[in-house]
Amino acid sequence: MIVKNKIILALDVEEEKKAFSILENTTKYLDTIKIGYPITLALGPQIITTIKENFDVKIIADFKVADIDATNEKIVRNTINYGADSIIVHGFTGEDSVIACKNAAEKLGKEIFLLTEMSHPGAERFLKPVSLEIAQMGVELGIRNYVAPATKLDRLEKIRKIVGKDSFIISPGVGVQGGEAKETLQYADAAIIGRSIYNSDSPQETLKNIIQTII
């Protein structure tokens, strides 16, 4: 996967007008966005299709899929049929659940991102103890794409060592949560940035300034 300027916009807004305004002002500088439950619950999953019809961007659906295998297959299939290019899935649910996601995506010519560890403090208690095992499971299953936290560089570095240099890591937590883009990109292939950009008075200028820090 190639991400322009190594920045992914987390578009966690809830109004279509605001979403389109942000995209109109930022897609000159980025070509990949991450959308999750806020915008899809507010506007319906068809917003994925609408964005794809109006903007030349790749969409990562951040649905953190975490159910049994049969349900996971339906979630992934329907999400991709709306136009998503890839989908983020949890690894803690185990091998069968993850394989169902991987197979469903690949049947449609798409890929999954395996979530190893999250960027918020609460992940310390339950995800941190198993995140390296999740990464190792991903390697064993032949998964190429991963999510690992920008707020915990030591963990990000360890996950990179496990998945190898040829795997693709995207990293949330840059900006409001405290992660720094340049430091994150020592280990990740792309930094995910949301609130710092979409809550800015000038999303375009904020994005340009962030890009300048990593050149």
Known catalytic residues are 64
- Helix ranges (DSSP H) in the chain: 16-26, 37-43, 46-54, 69-81, 95-107, 123-126, 128-140, 153-163, 181-184, 195-198, 203-214
Q: Which has the closest alpha carbon to 116: 76, 172, 185? A: 172
Positive or negative torsion for Cα 9, 168, 134, 128: negative
Phi and psi at residue 152, in whole multiples of 5°? -135, 80
The 3 state secondary structure assigned to 93-129 is: CCHHHHHHHHHHHHHCCCEEEEECCCCCCCHHHHCHH
Q: Residues 3, 31: contact at Cβ < 8 Å? A: yes
Query: Phi then psi for 182, rounded to 5 degrees?
Result: -65, -40
Question: How far apart (Å, rounded) are the C-alpha atoms in residues 185 and 144?
Answer: 17
Q: Which amino acid type is present at position 206?
A: T
